[in-house]
Amino acid sequence: MNRIVKNRELLVLAILGVLIVVIGAISPNFLRPTTLINIVNSSLFLMLIAIGEMFVILTRGIDVSTGAMAGLAAVILGVSLNAGVPLPVAIVLALLTGLAAGAVNAVGVTAFRVPPIIMTLGSLGIYRGLMLLITGGSWIETIPHSIKSVAAFRVAGIPALVWISLAIAVAVAFALKNLKQARYLYAVGDNEEGAFLLGIPVKATVFSAYCLSGLFAGAAAVVFVAQIGFVPMQTGSGQELKAIAAVVLGGVSLSGGVGNSMSAVVGALFLTAVDSMMIFLKIPGFWNNAVGGAILLAVVFIDYRIRCAVKDEQQRARAREMDQSTPERNNPTAGSASVMGKAT
Amino acid sequence: MIAWKWLRSWEAVLVAALAVELLALGAINPAFLSVENLLFSTSDFAHVILGALGLTLVVITAGIDISGVSIMGLASIVLGLSWVAGADIWLAVLIALAVGSLAGTFNGLLVANTDVNPLVLTLGSMFMFAGIATGLPGVLDLLGFKAYGAGGFAAYQYEGITGLPKEFTALAHGGLGWVPNPLIAVLLFALVLSLILHRTRFGRYLYLIGVNPNVARYSGVPVKSVIVVVYTLSAFGAAIAGVILTSYFTSARSDLGSEALLNIITAVVLGSAAFADGAKIAFIPKLTGVGFFESGGKAPSRWARKSARR
C-alpha cells in the first residue's frame, strides 16, 4: 500500500494494464504488437514535452509555453530543411531554438522575478506570433523526405525514435536519482528558502529547469516533424495543458519536489493509450477529451482517498503504540524512544 | 486624499496605460478613436471579461478555475440542443445557465473535498466539459433529434447548430444607444460581483479563506460551502459568456470561447498585481485590465476589418 502511495506511476501503470487487458478482451486486435508499438510511437511527442515540463514543475514553477516552444522549433526545423541545411544541422538548430526559447523564460523568471505563469503565458503569445511571422501563416509542407527517414528507421521492429526517447527518459530518471545538480531541483521545489540557506544555487537551478523544458520541447518538435513530415500552424497548440495533465497524472506534484521522468512517461502513455482504446471501442473521437479529463479527475481523487486512508492507518498505529507505551510513562525517555522508533 | 491614493494604485497605472495606448493608436489612425467603434468593439471580448470576473472571485480564495472556457462551449451547446429538442429559446437560455452553473458546482465540490491543487482539478474538468460539449450533439442525433441540421455532420462541424430564432441572435448585436448589450451584461455582472465582494459577509469570507483557510475554518466560516458557491458563481459567469457568444455568432458551437483561456488568465493577472496572494486583490481593475490587453492585442486589426466592411 505504501509503495503505491509513494509511486503514483505504479498505480497509473496498474490501471493502464487492467484497461489494456479489458480492451484486449473486447477487441483482440488491440493486443497486436503493432498496435501497442503505434501507441508508444504516437505518445512520444507528448512524452518529451511532458518530461521537459516535469523539470519546471519539480521546482514548483509552471511552464505553459511548452507547446508554443515545440511549434517554434518545428517551424525552424522545417524552414531550415527547406533552405537546404543538412539534416543533422537542422535538428541541432531546432534543439537550440527550444533551448533559447526556454532560456528567455528562464531569464524572465529568475532575473526579473516575473511569476512563472505570467512569464510563460507572455512568451507563449510571443512564440506563436514568431511562428506566424516566420512562415507568413502558411503550413510548411514541402519538407525534404530525409526527415521522414528518421522516423521510418527501426531497430528490432520498433522505431528508433521510441528507443531513443525511452533511453532519454531512463537516463533522466537515473540522473534525477543520482546527480547532485538534479537533486537541487527537488530541494528548490520542496523549500526554496531552505535550499537557499543550505547554499544551493537556487537561481541557477530554476534557470536550468526552464532551459531543459525548452530543450525537450525542441526534441519533441523533431519527433513530430519526423513522424508527420510537415509543419501545420497549430503544431503543439494545446499540448502544454496535455503535458501538465500527463505529468500530474503520473504523480508529479504541482507543489514541487515530487516526481520523476517516469511520471511523465507513464502519464503520456496513459493519455495516448486511452485515445487509441476509444478507437478500438468504436467510440467517436470527440469523446477523447471527456474520457481523458474524467480519468485524470478519477485518478487524482482515488489517489487522494488512498493517501487519506494510509494517513489514518498510520495515525491509528501510532495511537496503539502510544497506548502500549503508557505503562512506561514513569520513564518518559523509554516511552518516547519507542514511539520514535516506530515512527522512523 | 482618496483620489491621490487611487492615482498611485495599480488600477491607475492600467487606466493610464490604456489611455496612452488608445491615444497612440488614435494618432496612427484617427478613425480608431470614435466612441461608437470603441464601445462596440467590446463585444468581441465581452466573454473574456465575464470569464475573468468570475475567475477573480476564485483567485481571491487562492484557488484557480481554468475550466471556464469549456463551460462557455458547454453552455452554448446545451442552449442549442435544448432548442433543437423543442424548448422555447428563453427556456433554453435558462437551461444553459443552469447546466453551466452545475458544472461549476461540480468543480467546487471537488476542490472543497480534496486537498488536490485546483489547477489540476479544473484542468481535468476543463477537458471533461469540452469533451462532453463536443460529444453531446452526437448523442442527441442518435436519439432522433436533428442536432446536425439539414447539412448533416459535416455542415455541423463547420457552422454549429444554426437557425436559432432572430429575437435571440439579435440580442448580442443590439444595445442601448451607444452601449452594446454584451457590455451591459458585463457591467451588470461586475456590479453584482463587487456588491457581493464588498457589501456582504460572504464576500469578506472569500478574502479570509484566501489569506488563511485554517483560520477561516476555526472561526466558524463554512469554508467548504463558500468554496462550492464561488466556483459555481465563476461558472455562472462563463455560462453567461457562452450564451452571449452563441447570440453574437448566431450559432451554438462546442468550441465557442475555447481560445479565451490565456486571455482570461492574463486579464486577471494584469488586473491584479498579486496573483499568488489571493487576498491582496482589488476588484474593479479587472475591467481596465481586460480593456488594456484586448485593445492592445487586437484593436488595430479589428478596426481594419470594420472599416473594410463599411
Asked if the structure places residue B36 within a domain, the reply is: no
The C-alpha of B84 sits at a distance from chain A's nearest C-alpha, in angstroms, of 20
Cβ contact, residue pair B275, A118, below 8 Å: yes
Domain holding B118: CATH number? 1.10.3470
Please tell me which of the candidates B115, B127, B265 has its beta carbon nearest to residue A304: B115
Number of domains, chain A: 1
Supply A329's cell numbers: 510513562
Q: Does A115 touch chain B (CB under 8 A)?
A: yes
Q: How far is A237 from chain B (nearest CA, A)?
A: 11
Task: Please report the beta strands in B159-274, taking only residues with DSSP state E, as ranges in sequence order.
Answer: 175-176, 179-180
Of B114, B120, B135, the CB nearest to A254: B120
A300–B116: do the CB atoms touch at under 8 Å?
Answer: yes
Of A56-60, B4-8, B116-120, the least confident = B4-8
How far apart are the C-alpha atoms of B64 and B121, rounded to whole Å?
A: 9
pLDDT at B281 over 50: no
The confidence score (pLDDT) of residue A331 equals: 52
Residue A339: inside a domain:
no
Contacts of B262 in chain A (CB under 8 A): 64, 121, 124-125
- The predicted pLDDT at position A231 comes to 81
- B1 domain residue, yes or no: no
Residue A214: which domain range? 2-283
Kindly state whether A292 is in contact with chain B, defined as any CB-CB distance less than 8 angstroms: yes
Spatial contact of A51 and A171, defined as CB atoms under 8 Å apart: no
Minimum Cα–Cα distance from B157: chain A residue: A286
Which of A281-285, B182-186, B298-302 is least confident?
Answer: B298-302
Q: Is A294 within 8 Å of B124 when comparing Cβ atoms?
A: yes
Question: Do the domain assignments include residue A148?
Answer: yes
* Banded pLDDT at B227 (limits 50, 70, 90): very high
CB pairs under 8 A between A and B: 88
Residue A336's pLDDT is: 45
Predicted confidence at residue B275, as pLDDT, reads: 41
Q: Is B128's CB within 8 Å of A115's CB?
A: no
Residue among B119, B128, B269 minimizing CB distance to A294: B128
How are beta strands A158-159 and B179-180 bridged, if at all? unpaired
Of A141, A330, A166, A137, the C-alpha closest to A234 is A137
pLDDT digits (tens, 9 = 90+) for B26-60: 777 777 667 777 777 777 788 888 888 888 888 88
Q: Answer yes or no: do A301 and B126 touch at CB < 8 A.
A: no
Number of Cβ atoms within 10 Å of the Cβ of B254? 28
Answer whether B110 sits within 8 Å of A289, measured CB to CB. Answer: no
Q: Is the dihedral of CA A118, A124, A127, A130 positive or negative?
A: negative
Spatial CA neighbour of A134 closest among A41, A49, A71, A65:
A71
- Does A124 contact B at CB distance below 8 Å? yes
Say if B219 falls within a structural domain: yes
Question: What CATH number is given to the structural domain containing A245?
Answer: 1.10.3470
Of B269 and A28, the structure prediction assigns the larger pLDDT to A28
Chain B: give the shortest CA distance to residue A277, in Å: 16
Scanning A254-283 for CB atoms below 8 A from B yields 254-255
For residue B148, pLDDT beyond 60:
yes
* B262 vs A124, A288, A297: nearest CB: A124
- CB-based contact, B131 to chain A, within 8 Å: yes
Option in A118, A289, A304 nearest B131 (CB):
A289
pLDDT recorded at residue A158: 79
Average pLDDT, integer, range B2-24: 68
CB contact under 8 A, A300 and B125: no
Contact B126 A293 (CB under 8 A): yes
Q: Does B125 touch chain A (CB under 8 A)?
A: yes
Mutate to test the interface with A, among B120, B148, B269 (most CBs of A within 10 A): B120
Mutate to test the interface with B, among A286, A299, A305, A310 (most CBs of B within 10 A): A286
Looking at the complex, does the CB of residue B186 fall below 8 Å from at least one CB of chain A?
Answer: no
Domain membership flag for residue A208: yes
Q: What is the pLDDT along chain A (344 residues), one digit of tens a residue?
A: 455 555 777 888 888 888 888 888 888 877 888 888 888 888 999 999 999 999 998 888 888 889 899 999 999 988 888 888 888 888 899 999 999 999 999 998 888 887 787 788 788 888 988 888 888 777 877 777 777 777 777 777 778 788 888 999 999 989 888 888 888 888 888 888 888 888 888 888 999 999 999 999 999 999 998 888 788 877 777 788 888 888 888 888 777 778 888 888 998 998 888 888 887 777 777 787 788 788 878 877 877 887 788 788 888 888 888 887 765 555 545 444 444 444 43
CB contact under 8 A, B128 and A289: yes
Q: How far is B127 from chain A (nearest CA, A)?
A: 5
Nearest CB to A287: which of B120, B135, B275?
B135
Q: Is residue B310 very low, low, confident or very high in pLDDT (cuts 50, 70, 90)?
A: very low
Query: For A264-268, B62-66, B174-178, which range has the lowest pLDDT when averaged over its residues?
Result: B174-178
Residue A336 resides in a domain: no
Reported confidence tier of residue B228, pLDDT bands at 50, 70, 90? very high
Q: How confident is the model at residue B5 (pLDDT cuts 50, 70, 90)?
A: low
For the segment B130-153, the average pLDDT, to the nearest whole number, is 74
CB < 8 Å to B115, chain A: 304
To the nearest whole angstrom, how far is the Cα of A290 from the nearest Cα of chain B? Answer: 4
C-alpha distances out from residue B77 to B181, B247, B258, Å: 21, 12, 13
Strands (E) across chain B are located at: 175-176, 179-180
Distance CA A172, CA A208 (A): 14
| Per-residue pLDDT at B302 exceeds 60 | no
Tell me phi and psi for residue B164, to 5 degrees. Answer: -65, 150
Give the gap in angstroms from C-alpha A150 to the nearest C-alpha of chain B.
33
Query: In angstroms, how far is the first alpha carbon of chain B from the final one?
Result: 47
Domain count, chain B: 1
Is residue B64 pLDDT above 90, yes or no? no
A154 DSSP β-pair partners: A159
Report the distance separating Cα B226 and Cα B209, nearest Å: 9
C-beta atoms of B128 and A290 within 8 A = yes
At residue B96, does pLDDT exceed 90?
A: yes
User: Above 60 in pLDDT, residue B109?
Assistant: yes
Most A CBs within 10 A among B116, B264, B301, hence the mutation to make, goes to B116
| Range of the structural domain that residue B188 is part of | 41-298
Nearest CB among B116, B127, B276 relative to A293 is that of B127
Cβ-contact B271, B288 below 8 angstroms: yes
- Alpha carbon distance B119, A72 (integer Å): 26
What is the distance between the alpha carbons of residues A71 and A214, in angstroms, rounded to a whole number?
11
Per-residue pLDDT at B7:
60
What is the complex's ipTM, to 2 decimals? 0.75
B147 versus B19: which is more confidently predicted? Answer: B19
Whether chain B has a CB inside 8 Å of the CB on A310: the answer is: no
Do residue B119 and residue A125 have CB atoms under 8 angstroms apart? no
Quickly tell me which residue has 497524472 as its cell: A249
Distance from CA of A302 to the nearest CA of B (A): 10
pLDDT over threshold 60, residue B129 = yes
| Cα distance between residue A251 and residue B181, in whole Å | 46
Cβ pair A286:B135 closer than 8 A: yes
Find chain A residues with C-beta within 8 A of B109's C-beta: none
B136 interfacial to chain A (CB closer than 8 Å): no
Average the pLDDT over B189-196 and give the result.
85
